[in-house]
Amino acid sequence: MTQFALTDDQIAIRETAERFTAAEITPHAAEWDEKHIFPRDTIKRAADLGFAAIYVSEDSGGIGLGRLEAALIMEAMAYGCPSTSAFISIHNMASWMIDCFGGARVKEKYLPSLVSMDAIASYCLTEPGSGSDAAAMKTSAVRDGDHYVVNGAKAFISGAGANDIYVTMVRTGADGPGGVSCLVIEKDMPGVSFGANERKLGWHSQPTAQVHFDDVRVPVENRVGEEGHGFKFAMAGLDGGRLNIGACSLGGAQRALDEAIAYTRDRRQFGKSIVDFQATQFKLADMETDLQAARALLYMAAAKVSAGAPDKTKFAAMAKRLATDAGSSVVDRALQLHGGYGYLMDYPIERLWRDLRVHQILEGTNEVMRIITARELLRAAN
């Protein structure tokens, strides 16, 4: 069993995240959702535990953990609020990209404030005209001396307008992936502006908007890595991002399952608790099985990404697809078990249902996850 069990350190990390969630997130999540409150102070307190730089190296001020430990943290925080956990995940992805691929100057310029979350980062890849076909992006960066002049727009950016730093994929060369580079752009640089907050089904505890760049002059020293390598960096970031968003689905679904068990024990119909009906027990059993299967694959994929395994991208895609599909399905069945009460905001189920739905779309749609899986599968078969 040793190879399938968490280590003592991993259990301690998970328990720390669970205690933080119980004290700082769960009691407030419903209000954040209802009133569209961005809990910046709570997010900042997560940074005090190292949760703003989970896999940023210790040399750069992070806590230098692996992708499995990150998944455990995201899963635990999502138990209280999937939206807030996912927001912290995105900041971690952006910070890691600077640490992993950036030169000394850009790291020393930005990582200290990102590790402490005195500054918060967004990840900017998607554009109004390029979603799944990310390599078709049009936002341009033209070299002008020791600056790039950036023009274009990014869409569906978590934290847009509220965050301080935007790790942005821009086109510095020809069409296609090889013409993409990565720049760190600050909120207050002249020419940076933001669209109105999007009116979303869920994820109400974080702002989402477009980011516009109009002749924004960005120092060349803010480039992450070499020109033309940005798309490769973006995809590497998404391997971890997909694990984290899958973990957020697991956490939200676990909360929904626990709520469903408690509710069906208390709710009585036809003279007995509805949990005593075999139909209810079968539904709960299937929910648990689906959740455990998704968790096992996601933890395996996390270990592969940490180890740099050759099939890490395929496993990250499979795990993201399975965990987010299973998570949404578990929450949907939990809502059904609650009956009409599950549709009310007095219970957390409808919020979990809304928050988890977008996980099947972002960090690469689940259709794209199937494309990646099939491509890697057929490549290995040749």
Task: List, for residues 272-283, the tens digit of each pLDDT value.
Answer: 999 999 999 999
CB 165 within 8 A of CB 158: no
Token duo for residue 308: 């740099």
- Collect all residues with Cβ–Cβ distance below 8 Å to 333 and sequence separation of at least 6: 260, 283, 286, 287
Give this prediction's pTM: 0.96
Instruction: Give the chain's residues under pLDDT 70.
Output: 1-2
pLDDT of residue 133: 86
Kindly report, residue by residue over 319-342, the tens digit of the pLDDT. Answer: 999 999 999 999 999 999 999 999
- The answer to whether 363 is a known catalytic residue is yes
- The per-residue pLDDT for 2 is 66
Q: Which amino acid is at 373?
A: T
pLDDT tens per residue, range 127-138: 999 888 888 999
Question: Given this model, what pLDDT does residue 132 score?
Answer: 85
Q: b/e map of 152-182 (b: 16 or more CB within 10 Å)?
A: bbbbbbbbbbbbbbbbbbbbbeeeebebbbb
What was the pLDDT predicted at 134?
A: 85
- Residue 64 DSSP label: -
User: Measured between alpha carbons, how far is 143 from 147 in angstroms, rounded to an integer?
Assistant: 6
Show Cβ contacts of residue 372 under 8 Å, excluding neighbours closer than 6 positions: 313, 314, 317, 364
How high is the pLDDT of residue 131?
84
Which is nearest to 140 in space by CA: 58, 40, 233, 215?
A: 215
| Distance between CA atoms of residues 256 and 372, nearest Å | 30
Catalytic annotation, pick one of 127, 226, 363, 376: 363
